[in-house]
Amino acid sequence: MIRPISGWTLFAIVMVLAFGSWPGFAAPDDKAHGKFSGEYTFYSLSLGDTGPPTKKDTKVNIWMSGSFAAQLYRRLGNESRGESCSEAIEVREKGNLVCSRVRATGEVNCGLGFDLRTGKSVLGMIC
């Protein structure tokens, strides 16, 4: 005997179908909180041609890697596809947050920067 689907069950199915495969939705093993690995660099001028940090001009580039970067990449979603510079990678970016994924290995790295004079974000990765 076929039982009728309740409203809440139907709602749950719709949500899974709609958002379970929705670009940018977290994977089952993603965590909302955790530690991450990465590195930083203080610099002046701009990311493409840097100088040493100075009193008047200090920016920081934060380079994120590992599972945190992979999670960022997933959460950014397909709709944020960015300029890849090479066929070897896929890029997702929003504003100054940029993540690149190496097609061959699946390795993901993300970058974000801040201008410490203004506190505003600056580009995190370049070609």
Partner 1 sequence: MDGFRCQRGCPPGTRRPALNQDWTQLPRLDAIEAGEHGSGYYVYGTDDTERIGTAARGQWGRPRTMEVINAVADRLATGDSYTPFGIGNISLPTGGRFPPHRWHQDGLGVDVRPARTDSAQLPVTYRDQQYDRAATQRLIDAFHATGQVDKIYFNDPMIGGVQPSKGHDNHFHVQIKR
What residues make contact with partner 1 under the rule CB under 8 A? 39, 41, 43, 45-52, 61, 63, 65, 83-89, 91, 98, 100, 102, 107, 109, 111, 113, 123-127
Q: How far is the CB of 22 from partner 1 (least distance, A)?
A: 25
Output the smallest distance, CB 20 to partner 1, in A.
29
Nearer Cβ to partner 1, position 24 or 53? 53
Q: Which of 97, 100, 74, 70 is nearest to 87 (CA)?
A: 100
Q: H-helix or E-strand containing 73?
A: helix 66-76
Q: Quick one: 25 or 40, whose CB is closer to partner 1?
A: 40
**CB nearer to partner 1: pick between 71 and 124:** 124
HSE-CB for 12 with a 13 A CA cutoff: 5
Residue type, 34: G
Q: Say if residues 61 and 116 touch (Cβ distance below 8 Å).
A: no
